[in-house]
Structure 1
C-alpha cells in the first residue's frame, strides 16, 4: 500500500488545487505538446514529445528536481546548475567569473586600446555639453576572492585579463573612474562583514552600500554640488541571506542551504531636513547595479533616475518613458538634459564593453 501511495502521489498532487509548490529558479526550458497526426504517431515523435510535455508540467516536478539536486549536493558536493562552481569553505562562484579572472575571455590589447580611445572621445563630447561622466568598474567575485576558487578551476599560467588591461588604459585615459576590484581587495580583510556573500554572485548588499558611499562622494566632486546627506541608523545582522546575497544559491534549486556567515543589512535614510541637490542621473549598467536599485537609493538621492540595463531596457521613475532605450525620442537632447552618466560594468562583462553605448553616442555626436 505504501508503494502504491508513493507511485500515485504525483497524480494525486496534480489534482489538488490547494497544493502549492514553489517553481524552479533560473532558465527552465518550456516543453511544448506535440501535434498529433499520422506521421508523428507512427514515427513515435508524438509519444516522445508528449511524454516530455507531461513530465515538465507535473506540479510535483520542481520538488523532485530540488530533492535530486539536494541529494547530489549533500553526498557528492556537486551542483547541477551548469555555470556554478562550489569553491573552498562553501563559496559559490559563477564559472565565467573564474574564467574572466584567469584571462580566458581576454579580448586582446589592441581591441581594448581602441575601445578606450573611442570612449574618451565620447566622454569629451559629453563634458563639452555639460554632462559629467563616471565609469564604475564593479568588482568580480573571483577577482576579489581568488583564494576560495577550487583547485580544479585554477589555471596556473594566466593570460592577461580584461580587467588588468582595461584598468591600465583607464588609469591613463583621463576618464573619471572607480576601480572597485582594487578597492574591495584592500578592504576585505579590514571589515567585519562580507563584501561578497557565499551564496551570491554580485557584491553583497552591504558591499553595495559601500559602493554607494564612494560613488556619491565622487559625484559630489564632479558636479561641484552639495548632494543630500544620508545615514544608516537601522541595520540587521543575520545568517539568513536576503535578495541578491543568495542569487547563485537560488539558481541551484536546492531544498535548503546554510552558509556559516554573518551578513549586515543597513537601511539608508535621509539624514536631516536639508534638501541638498538631487542630480538627474542616467545609469548604463549590468546586473550589479540592480542591487543598488533594490536598495531604494534613487528615491532618496536622485531627482530623475534612468537605469539603462545593458543599454537596452529603460527602467525609470518616470512612468511616461518608453521601456526600451532605442525608442527614446531625440536621444542626444535627452542625455544633455541630465547631470551625469554612471557607466557601471563588472569585470565579467568587459568582454562586451560597452554594449554599443559609446558607438551609438559617437554617431550622435558625429565623432570620426
Structure 2
C-alpha cells in the first residue's frame, strides 16, 4: 500500500503572497469556494502523477464576487450570535469548465475525515472528476454517496467496503491531527479479523 501526503496548510501559506483571492472567509473556518477549487485541482494533479492517469481538468474562466456570503462562509459568525452584522469581505467564486478527453479516468474516491470533507463533496467539481464519491465523517457515518448515505461505519465491514474505491483520502485539519486517522486503520483491521474468524469457522 502506497501512502502519499499533501500539506494544504503549507501550500496555501506559501502561495498567499502571490494569490489575489482569499482562501478563507472572515466569518468562517473552512475554505471558500475558490479554496475548494484550488484544493481539488491540486489533489487531482497529485493523483494523476502517482497513478499515471488523466483526470478531467478544471479550467478557470473567471472569478466573480458576490455581495452576499454563502452560509458555509459565515458558519462561525452565525454561531456567535452577534448584535450587529459581521463586516465581511466579498468571497471569490470561480467560474470554470471541465475539459474532458478520450483517455480520461474518473477514479472512485473515498474521503475519510473531518468537516473539511463537506466542502469537497459539496462542490460540483468533484463529481466531474471522480466517480462513486463517499465521505465518511470522522470515520463514524457515511455522509454522502447514494448507496450508503447515513450508514454508521461500525455497522459495515470496512475491509470489504474500501475495495470499491481506487483512492482513499484521509483528510484532517491541523486542529484534529491529534486524533488522525479517526480510527480508520482500526476499523479496517476489525474487518480483517472478522473475515479471518469466518474463514476459520468455515474450515471447521
Q: State the TM-score bracket (shorter-chain normalisation).
A: 0.7 to 0.9
CA distance in structure 1 between the partners assigned to 2:73 and 2:149 by the alignment: 30
TM-superposed CA distance for 1:249, in Å, is 0.9
Instruction: Find the counterpart in structure 1 of residue 81 from structure 2.
Output: 253
1:327 is the counterpart of 2:190: no
1:238 is the counterpart of 2:66: yes
In angstroms, what is the RMSD of aligned CA positions? 2.3
Segments of structure 2 that go 5 or more residues without pairing to the other structure are: 194-204
The correspondence of residues 208-287 of structure 1 with structure 2, limited to 5 A, is 208-233=36-61, 235-254=63-82, 256-272=84-100, 274=102, 276-287=104-115
TM-superposed CA distance for 1:257, in Å, is 2.0
1:311 is the counterpart of 2:135: no
CA distance in structure 1 between the partners assigned to 2:149 and 2:86 by the alignment: 42
- Conserved in 1, the CA contact under 8 Å of 2:141 and 2:153? yes
- Conserved in 1, the CA contact under 8 Å of 2:65 and 2:91? yes
Structure with greater proportional helix content: 1
From 5, 9, 24, give the equivalent of 1:196: 24
Segments of structure 1 that go 5 or more residues without pairing to the other structure are: 1-126, 133-174
Structure with greater proportional strand content: 2
1:302 is the counterpart of 2:168: no
**Can you list the C-alpha shifts for 1:32-64, whole angstroms capped at 9, x where unaligned?**
xxxxxxxxxxxxxxxxxxxxxxxxxxxxxxxxx
With the length of structure 2 as denominator, give the TM-score of the two structures.
0.83
- Conserved in 2, the CA contact under 8 Å of 1:269 and 1:300? no
Larger Rg: 1
The 3 A distance-change label for structure 1 pair 233 and 243 is farther
TM-superposed CA distance for 1:235, in Å, is 3.8
Instruction: Find the counterpart in structure 1 of residue 184 from structure 2.
Output: 357
Instruction: Find the counterpart in structure 2 of residue 42 from structure 1.
Output: none
With the length of structure 1 as denominator, give the TM-score of the two structures.
0.48
Aligned-partner SS, 2:131: coil
- Conserved in 1, the CA contact under 8 Å of 2:66 and 2:91? yes
- Conserved in 1, the CA contact under 8 Å of 2:159 and 2:191? yes
Aligned-partner SS, 1:333: helix
The 3 A distance-change label for structure 1 pair 260 and 325 is closer
**Can you list the C-alpha shifts for 1:65-85, whole angstroms capped at 9, x where unaligned?**
xxxxxxxxxxxxxxxxxxxxx
- Conserved in 2, the CA contact under 8 Å of 1:249 and 1:257? no
Aligned-partner SS, 1:276: coil
